[in-house]
Amino acid sequence: MNKLKLKLEEIIDFELSPSRILLTKNDIQDVAKRYKLTFPENYIFYLQFFGNDYVKDNYVFTPIIELPKHIRDSHFDISAIFGLYDGVNNLEIELKTKREFLPVNLFPIADFGGGDLVCMDKENYKIYLWFHEENEGEDVCLVAENFEDFIINFNFEKPKQFDLDSIQLHFSPELDMALKKAAEKYER
């Protein structure tokens, strides 16, 4: 668990984290039982000591499995990992509100943005991306073998620097003329 703990401490934005109380394994097991779930030990560890967390800027998830091209070209910006604390990114709220949309074998564990979710399989604990706008049967994609692999595969991605001096704007003659006429009103 030490590797998992270190990676969580690296990627979580603690400035945005909720106030925490120590949750016991029994607290977590009670939640699992309410939703007819079992959680693997590494996920219980996360829920016990972390939760409702935002991922730091510039940390991007890298799937360990080759994805279909239309998905591979996506940016894997996972913004939040659900937990058991009150407030935003609450796992129980997500379990209640998303269960009718998700395949029956999955439950949500993180926000992938735009309505898409990161989910865990209820039986084998593998991690999937669920795409809410894809065709049925193509709406899930395996991305990690387990929760720890999911967390370990977040990597810092250096922000792209743009050279603003090299940017050139070209207007059509018609647009250029329209902008000049509009500017004349304000020159007086």
Which range among 19-23, 58-62, 184-188 shows the weakest confidence by mean pLDDT?
184-188
Mean pLDDT, the chain, as a whole number? Answer: 87
Amino acid 74: pLDDT: 56
User: In a 3-state reduction of DSSP, which class is residue 116?
Assistant: strand
Tokens (6 digits) for 120: 């865990």
Q: Is 175 exposed, middle or buried (0-12, 13-18, 19+ CB in 10 A)?
A: exposed
For the stretch 49-94, pLDDT in tens is 999 999 999 998 888 777 666 565 555 678 899 999 998 999 999 9
Local confidence band at 159 (pLDDT 50, 70, 90 cut-offs): confident
Task: Please give the residue that has the higher pLDDT: either 140 or 185.
Answer: 140
Amino acid 106: pLDDT: 97
For the stretch 161-172, pLDDT in tens is 766 666 777 778
Task: Please give the residue that has the higher pLDDT: either 80 or 180.
Answer: 80
Q: Where are the alpha helices (DSSP H) in 13-77?
A: 25-34, 41-49, 69-72
For the stretch 25-55, pLDDT in tens is 999 999 999 999 999 999 999 999 999 999 9
**E strand residue ranges, 75-139:** 80-81, 106-113, 116-121, 127-130
Q: Which residue has the tokens 């509009």?
A: 182
Tokens (6 digits) for 3: 């590797």
Amino acid 180: pLDDT: 82
Residue 35 φ/ψ, nearest 5 degrees: -110, 15
Interaxial angle between packed helices 2-11 and 41-49, expressed in degrees from 0 to 180 and rounded to the nearest 10: 50
